[in-house]
Structure 1
């Protein structure tokens, strides 16, 4: 079972920047592969990625976030869902919907 950071269920162990705004990421449960983040590139704080050197500076922060800077980070749970194609409902079965019928 992965170590749980504050709210993080899926522990990232390794991350590497690839071309075309993709990252390669490996998680503690053995899942690994590429995640395409091109849909975020150039938008708001993600303009930072337009600087190739800053894009390549991706790392795993102490809290488990996938981080490029103090202002630019992604939740590792979200990248895990994107990588595996898992829905939030499947990944977090104990979450309750706040929607009312």
Structure 2
């Protein structure tokens, strides 16, 4: 099964709450991943919060064209238990 993001919610401090198609839900901290030409602009909290689910890519993307592979996001995820949701 190809990995893809099915739900996204922005949190504080460049964190995302993500759900994947295998049912795993957790938090990804991107504060250390916002470097390089495409990602440095996302250090602006207003732009970062403009994230959207991109069903064609199966991941998340931003208006400036930045996107992250779902496998990369999955490797960073800190799963949350059902009680924490």
When normalised by structure 2's length, the TM-score is: 0.75
CA RMSD of aligned residues (A): 2.1
Trace 1:5-84 onto structure 2 (pairs within 5 A).
9-63=2-56, 64-83=58-77
Q: Which has the larger radius of gyration?
A: 1
For structure 1, list consecutive stretches of 5 or more residues without a partner in the other structure. 3-8, 86-101
Greater relative contact order structure (CA < 8 Å, 6+ sep): 2
Q: Which structure shows the higher strand fraction? A: 2
Deviation at 1:54, TM superposition (A): 1.1
For structure 2, list consecutive stretches of 5 or more residues without a partner in the other structure. 80-85
Runs of 4+ in 1 over 4 A off after TM superposition: none
Number of equivalences: 78
